[in-house]
Structure 1
Amino acid sequence: MPSLFKRSLLPKLRSFALTADAVTILDGAAEFRRCLLEQIAQATRRIYIVALYLQHDEAGQEILDALHAAKAARPELDVVVVVDWLRAQRGLIGAGKQPGNSAWYQQMTRDHASEVPVYGVPVQTRELFGVLHLKGFVIDDCVIYSGASLNNVYLHKFDKYRFDRYHLLRNRALADSMQHLVQHGLITSKAVHRLDLPNLPSTRSLRHDIGDLRSRLKHAAYDTTAGDVIKGGLSVSPLLGVGKNNPLNRVICELIASAQQQLTICTPYFNLPLPVTREINRALARGVKVDIVVGDKTANDFYIPPSEPFRVIAALPYLYEISLRRFAKRHQRVIDSGLLNLHLWRDGDNTYHLKGMWVDERYTLLTGNNLNPRAFRLDLENALLIDDPKAELQAPRRRELAEIFRNTSRIERYQQLETLLEYPPDVSKFLRRVSRVRIERLLYRIL
């Protein structure tokens, strides 16, 4: 199909050839934790862990202990942890004043003879306006890719889990490319400092360096010179993006525009950017069957039961439901026809964190991008685009989608979704106040 874009990126992407047996889709968060620990223990050359955060809890302790044990057993092992600078220096939302994970990193460095450096990357001077949202763990020649961060619920350490996607790709060129970006594009920056060492500089003192880093990241990309533009078989392309109209955003829109038969989109926070909404509308007009899977508001990681004290953050799941209801109301005709299917995910009191896209029987996008305005403008995001022109991964692909849909229900009518009048009084009162002072639109852009 000819591209609808004047400067199309999709045909120009360089990719690394894959074999079908080099791709494994892991079965859930507990299997993800087991695989990660197993790969760390077996590593012989390098371990590069990149996540929004590595939390000071039981699962986080297990991961950091494993990294120190691997380094102690093989001192020549190149071990690096990269997390968001600002997120690491604050406590949990609503938990009162806490020292943050950086204090724990420093204690671990003091307590161990082995050295596991933990670098903090400041994408912005304030967390509200941008964070390190890169995903992917490089261990020797493997890349473990998930939207999950590292804590008890993401790793299903105890009874609750946060549902995500979990892929293991064995490909040296891809692993080299992802390591190269971390090693040369991030940790060499003057804005990036080790969080596991004392006497951290203030964020204010780094303002100039942070601005320089963000400016460089807007023009950065994964090194794919070892790849090929010709895509005759199964391949993977790493993508990077930060700021408006970045390459990752453009590829996401081009993928939707390329759909001819079927498009599936997963996002935990239903707040689609305008370019994505436009392409979905065009796809529906072409007769493409579109499935969108979102979490029920009670499966949102910001959800707080009405029985607990109200906090402003508790309004977010309701804002996303308002957005979903408006979308469903505008598209009720195509919902009735079966062309558009909106699915709500819910499994007890577990939470939903899935992101990604499946286009026709060819493309699969693995990403931490939430497909919302914040991801499209503020955060540093990445993705892996799997191109499967010969349908070599169709069986595991279908199994993954079946598992995602297993705990979903279809929205038949937009009236199934609650309105402001049905929300808990404190939530309803707050949202009315927000609407009255016209802050709602700003919130949708940054949350």
Structure 2
Amino acid sequence: MNSLLAPLLESMTSFHLHWLFLAHITFVILFIGVIISVRRPVGVAFAWIFIVVVFPLIGISLYILIGERPVGRSLRQKITRMNVPYAKITELLRQEYAADREKLPAEGRALSILAEASNGTPVMAGNKIELHTDSLKILQLFVDEINRAKVSLHLEFYIWALGGDADRVCEALIAAAKRGVACRVLLDSLGSKDWFKSSWPKRFREIGIQVTEALPIQVGRFQFRRADLRLHRKIFVVDGSVVWSGSMNMVDPRTFKQGAGVGEWVDAMVRVEGPVASQFELTFAFDWSVDNPDITSFDDRMPPASPVEGGAIAQEFSSGPVYRDDILYQVLLSAIIDARQELTITTPYFGPDDGLLQALMAAARRGVKVTLIVPKLNDSKLVAWSSRSYYEDLMNAGVHIAEFHGGLLHTKSLLIDKRIAIFGSVNFDQRSLRLNFEISLIIYNEDFCAKLEGLIGTYLAQSEYVDSQTWAKRPRWQKYLCNAAHLTSPLL
């Protein structure tokens, strides 16, 4: 009997393998068609094709989750609708403040024009800009600002963590709402998931504080909205005339992610008083209108505050998928290309594409002193390994790489020739460049740049430069590990 069944079983097995092979080929061909229809970067396209060819079920599932950049049809339509009045407001701002651009040198003027393209906001003179670097003091200053507020408090963050002095900010907001200050809180759904599960949202709403969850993750709708597109901005606007922004989330560094084994997160923020604060208020109002399902129109505009005598020229710079899609990439690329003497980057996550990598290498080779400062320990092992895959090429071109060992360096800054600074929420990686909603402040002021240079000096004092000769002698397995992680860099 077994001898009779054997040929039949063999035939059935061969039949199933034949159809599995055909199904695999069909899926791969269809997938390549999807990739071609989108026209994404070549490295990203081939990375996805490789994953699908080798691991078809896993690859296609991942692509459905994170392969495209959709924010969902309804949200896209709302952003498009809201962008019409937003564009009218920014056009009026560009007309009103056109004269301020003429106060910039030629290289600054060119960068400012690029940054205001695609409905961006213009440079504004007369801003008082302070640099703050102690996270606990910043949290106390947040409480002080809230206690002084008279009209409105608008807070927009990626993460609002529980515990420590972050809870003191919550209590201060409740007290402000009780005395009649209008409070709005906009937080990313994923980054602040623990906060949304806590008692704080209910307490806020009971006292009259408006709370909105940005980009909520909806199980079963991943095919319509990519789950990892995040609101990564950090904005705190007080009475429409003062704004705080930078790299710091609403977290107490003494308690935040202490189990990650990287030490305390090291952040910096700017406090801006003056007309440019209205640009951050405008971005907050736009985000609030888009993410709040109860709002169907957008017409908010706080009038800019009066300029501060002798203040700095500055420009808010927002970016994100759907609108202003590639402006961030173009601004960073232009800033690197325009550097003439010195270029310093601080970032916790480093994952440039070939264009930015070549620009950094070209800058070093033409004599620009290029310095990259990254944390020695990172909360993402994959990102850390991938980042190190760039070291050899960068150092061979003359780029100086310093690894910070005083905690997880989370400050995101770009200092160009000690005259222009880009400071905010943007990491030097594909996620910030392509996926997240980000915000930065571009400062065209040598006094502020000197303060930022001083802060960078304190980072370098707690860093070790990577030695190119020692790096070349690292174990072979480390090189393979970093290069393997590099293959995922277009997808991180």
Query: Taking structure 2 as the reference length, what is the TM-score of the superposition?
Result: 0.65
After superposition, what is the alpha-carbon deviation per residue over 1:336-386, rounded to whole angstroms, capped at 9, x for unaligned? xxxx21000012xx3221211000021011121111011111111111100
Q: Map 1:31-110 onto structure 2 (within 5 A).
A: 31-72=137-178, 74-75=179-180, 77-89=181-193, 91=194, 101-109=196-204
Paired AA for residue 166 in structure 1: M
Contact 2:278–2:302 (Cα < 8 Å) also in 1: no
In structure 1, the residue corresponding to 2:350 is in which secondary structure? coil
Which residue is equivalent to 1:256? 336
Shift of 1:161: 2.8
Shift of 1:115: 1.7
Which residue is equivalent to 1:310? none
Contact 1:328–1:414 (Cα < 8 Å) also in 2: no
Contact 2:232–2:436 (Cα < 8 Å) also in 1: yes
Paired AA for residue 139 in structure 1: V
Does residue 256 of structure 2 align to residue 152 of structure 1?
no
Does residue 364 of structure 2 align to residue 284 of structure 1?
yes
Counterparts of 2:251 and 2:201 in 1: how far apart (Å)?
18
Counterparts of 1:223 and 1:123 in 2: how far apart (Å)?
26
After superposition, what is the alpha-carbon deviation per residue over 1:247-299, rounded to whole angstroms, capped at 9, x for unaligned? 22221211111100000011101212333212212212321110100011x2x
Counterparts of 2:183 and 2:281 in 1: how far apart (Å)?
11
Counterparts of 2:330 and 2:238 in 1: how far apart (Å)?
29
Contact 1:322–1:419 (Cα < 8 Å) also in 2: no
1:170 to 270, 273, 287: 273
In structure 1, the residue corresponding to 2:411 is in which secondary structure? coil
Which residue is equivalent to 1:139? 238
Contact 2:156–2:185 (Cα < 8 Å) also in 1: yes
Counterparts of 1:120 and 1:180 in 2: how far apart (Å)?
19
After superposition, what is the alpha-carbon deviation per residue over 1:211-264, rounded to whole angstroms, capped at 9, x for unaligned? xx9xx9xxx9x989969xxxx983110111113852222212111111000000
Q: 1:142 to 1:6 in 2, by over 3 A?
A: closer
Contact 2:233–2:438 (Cα < 8 Å) also in 1: yes
Q: 1:179 to 1:233 in 2, by over 3 A?
A: closer
After superposition, what is the alpha-carbon deviation per residue over 1:411-442, rounded to whole angstroms, capped at 9, x for unaligned? 1126449657369xxxx9xx69x95xxx863x
Contact 1:292–1:341 (Cα < 8 Å) also in 2: yes
After superposition, what is the alpha-carbon deviation per residue over 1:48-70, rounded to whole angstroms, capped at 9, x for unaligned? 11110212223332111111111
In structure 1, the residue corresponding to 2:187 is in which secondary structure? strand
Counterparts of 2:469 and 2:210 in 1: how far apart (Å)?
50
Counterparts of 1:321 and 1:263 in 2: how far apart (Å)?
24
Contact 2:420–2:449 (Cα < 8 Å) also in 1: no
CA RMSD of aligned residues (A): 3.8
1:397 to 431, 452, 474: 452
Does residue 292 of structure 2 align to residue 236 of structure 1?
no
Contact 1:51–1:134 (Cα < 8 Å) also in 2: yes
Q: 1:87 to 1:29 in 2, by over 3 A?
A: closer
Q: After the TM superposition, which segments of 4 or more aligned residues of structure 1 sit over 6 Å from their partners?
A: 5-8, 154-159, 222-227
Counterparts of 1:260 and 1:361 in 2: how far apart (Å)?
10
1:18 to 122, 126, 135: 126
Counterparts of 1:223 and 1:257 in 2: how far apart (Å)?
35
Which residue is equivalent to 1:161? 264
Shift of 1:87: 3.4
Counterparts of 1:8 and 1:175 in 2: how far apart (Å)?
19
Shift of 1:143: 1.1
Shift of 1:136: 2.0
After superposition, what is the alpha-carbon deviation per residue over 1:129-184, rounded to whole angstroms, capped at 9, x for unaligned? 3100112211122111121111222788999631012211111x22222222222x
Which residue is equivalent to 1:115? 208
Contact 1:23–1:170 (Cα < 8 Å) also in 2: yes
Which residue is equivalent to 2:477? 421
Contact 1:59–1:155 (Cα < 8 Å) also in 2: no
* Number of residue-to-residue matches in the alignment: 367
Shift of 1:107: 3.5
Looking at CA atoms only, which structure, 1 or 2, has the larger radius of gyration? 2
Which residue is equivalent to 2:394? 331
Which residue is equivalent to 2:490? 445
Segments of structure 2 that go 5 or more residues without pairing to the other structure are 1-105
Counterparts of 2:379 and 2:258 in 1: how far apart (Å)?
16
Counterparts of 1:223 and 1:385 in 2: how far apart (Å)?
21
Q: Map 1:359-370 onto structure 2 (within 5 A).
A: 359-370=416-427
Contact 1:148–1:154 (Cα < 8 Å) also in 2: no
Counterparts of 2:326 and 2:122 in 1: how far apart (Å)?
17
In structure 2, the residue corresponding to 1:47 is in which secondary structure? strand
Q: Map 1:346-361 onto structure 2 (within 5 A).
A: 346-347=405-406, 350-361=407-418
Q: 1:63 to 1:377 in 2, by over 3 A?
A: same
Segments of structure 1 that go 5 or more residues without pairing to the other structure are 92-99, 195-208, 303-314
After superposition, what is the alpha-carbon deviation per residue over 1:290-338, rounded to whole angstroms, capped at 9, x for unaligned? 0100011x2x234xxxxxxxxxxxx32xx423432x3221234344xxx
Specify which structure has the higher proportion of helix: 2
Q: 1:286 to 1:11 in 2, by over 3 A?
A: farther
In structure 2, the residue corresponding to 1:393 is in which secondary structure? helix
In structure 1, the residue corresponding to 2:370 is in which secondary structure? strand
Contact 2:362–2:397 (Cα < 8 Å) also in 1: no
Counterparts of 2:314 and 2:237 in 1: how far apart (Å)?
15
In structure 2, the residue corresponding to 1:369 is in which secondary structure? coil
Contact 1:29–1:155 (Cα < 8 Å) also in 2: no
Counterparts of 2:335 and 2:301 in 1: how far apart (Å)?
22
Q: 1:51 to 1:422 in 2, by over 3 A?
A: same
Contact 1:291–1:341 (Cα < 8 Å) also in 2: yes
Counterparts of 1:42 and 1:155 in 2: how far apart (Å)?
27
After superposition, what is the alpha-carbon deviation per residue over 1:391-413, rounded to whole angstroms, capped at 9, x for unaligned? 33354233222222221111112
